[in-house]
Amino acid sequence: MLWVVGYWLEMLVLGLVLGLVVGLAANSSVVRGLLRNPRSLGELRLMMIVIAVATVLVGVGLVGLVAEYLGLGVTPALLAAGVAVFMLLQWLFSPVIINAIYGVHEAGPELEWLRVEVERLARESGLRSPPKLVVADMDAPNAFAYGSPLFGNYVAVTRGLLHLLPREEIIAVIGHEIGHLKHRDVVAILALATIPAIVYFMGRALLHYAWWAGGSRDERASPATLFAVGAALVALGFLLHLVVQHFSRLREYYADAHSALVTGAPRLLQRALARLYAAYHSVPRYRDEISAKGFTTYLFIVSGLLEPLYTPWSGDIDTLVEELKRTEPSVLEELFSTHPPIPKRLRFLDALAERLSSL
């Protein structure tokens, strides 16, 4: 029964941290400042580098300090290796898993025009070989890119996306997905996510060990110390996870920028994003279909669970684009999402278009 007590104490720690984060996010100008739109591609790249380096240094430093203080020897290294191997296998075999989850099949001859566009955009983006175009058996309109060295790269569009968007906007969406492949976003996010996972699981291990450990002559390894350090690591692992979420949102901006650059028409992606917003707002079953896919939703071009929380709309698509630009999304909604809110993505594309027009 001790593991049950440990589990609920772990949940208590996470609950307290979550409450603290929510309170800070709701009232902190610092958090709002960190979540502001990048003003340029250069600033966006700098933000991604700073976040990645800081996450690695903090995570590795924490694990090293705890291991040294508690005299854990090679245990943290073994834990880190185990988590890293799990993440690596997940990435290598992810195409098989994703194809099964989404009922993916190769695009038929009726989509030859889109296959040609995928090949063109891949070539103009500098990819060595074009990704395979596939269709996901989903009514919810969306698109995603994935792949691994074992199975190659894929760009998937859902059945719903093909029915919703005009051709030129589908091409803009494909430009976004090609951007993810060019930037190796799945690899980057998965690699960075390994850090908070190691910190979190090390904390969990210490929490559980604290309940099973007996007395110790070394005060540093006493149950009370192990519990305190474990609780701190669980909390910090969760906070680092939020940092990785922010990194994921920045990669979405980066893919948006790639679409704008490779197509030369940021407005097309803005319209596509606005249509996706309208679709998820007006058809609730799309959200249910997205939520049923679980952990893989980070792959999508939009977060179908987040977009319907904005203001209702009716009118033509350019009117919606302009209305969404004026919308201020909730800080909390953004903080826990893998994707930036659509209004902020539209404003980022506006800023990018202004800079492109001035060149």
Residue ranges for the known binding site for Zn(2+) are: 176, 180, 252
State how far the Cα of 242 lies from the Cα of 300, in Å rounded to an integer. Answer: 19
- The helix/strand/coil state of 127 is coil
State how far the Cα of 195 lies from the Cα of 83, in Å rounded to an integer. Answer: 9
Cβ atoms of 155 and 131 within 8 Å: the answer is yes
State how far the Cα of 42 lies from the Cα of 238, in Å rounded to an integer. Answer: 29
What are the strands, taking DSSP E only, across the chain? 105-106, 132-136, 143-148, 152-158
Going by C-alpha positions, the residue among 115, 93, 127 that lies closest to residue 258 is 127
Count of Cβ atoms closer than 10 Å to residue 156 Cβ? 26
Long-range CB pairs of 107-110 (<8 Å, 24+ gap) are: 107/133, 107/134, 107/135, 108/135
Q: What DSSP string describes 274-309? A: HHHHHHHHH-HHHHHHHHTTGGGGGGBSS-TTTGGG
Count of Cβ atoms closer than 10 Å to residue 219 Cβ? 8
Sheet holding 143-148, edge to edge: 105-106, 132-136, 152-158, 143-148
The residues annotated as belonging to the active site are 177
> What is the β-pairing status of strands 143-148 and 105-106?
unpaired
